[in-house]
Amino acid sequence: MAEEVSTRSLSYLFGRKVYLNNGVYVGTIEDLIITSDSIHKIEVRAGSSRIQALISSSTKGIKIPYNSVNAIKDVVIIDNIIGLPATDKES
């Protein structure tokens, strides 16, 4: 997947909605961390108060390793990350 992304403009990723592979909305891509010739991490602005509560109050988002990305199309699907909710339902 990294080759496909590196061959075209990366600007198309900004603002894409990010979801866990179980359908939970995480937020939107705000920035990319690039090392030499590939994407290293994506920075995602938290899209809900529930996700924001799980991350540091001094930050507005979360850095997700690019190898956690499963698919990029109209939205970005990522593997579940430890600490993020398994469902959208409030406990």
Tens digits of per-residue pLDDT, 6-63?
Answer: 445 778 888 999 998 888 888 999 988 888 778 888 888 888 777 777 776 666 778 8
Question: Torsions phi, psi of 67, nearest 5?
Answer: -70, -5
pLDDT band of 3, cuts 50, 70, 90: very low
Distance CA 3, CA 63 (A): 21
Residue 1 predicted with pLDDT over 60:
no
pLDDT band of 87, cuts 50, 70, 90: low
pTM equals 0.74
Cα end-to-end distance, the chain, whole Å: 36
Domains of the chain: 2-78 (2.30.30.240)
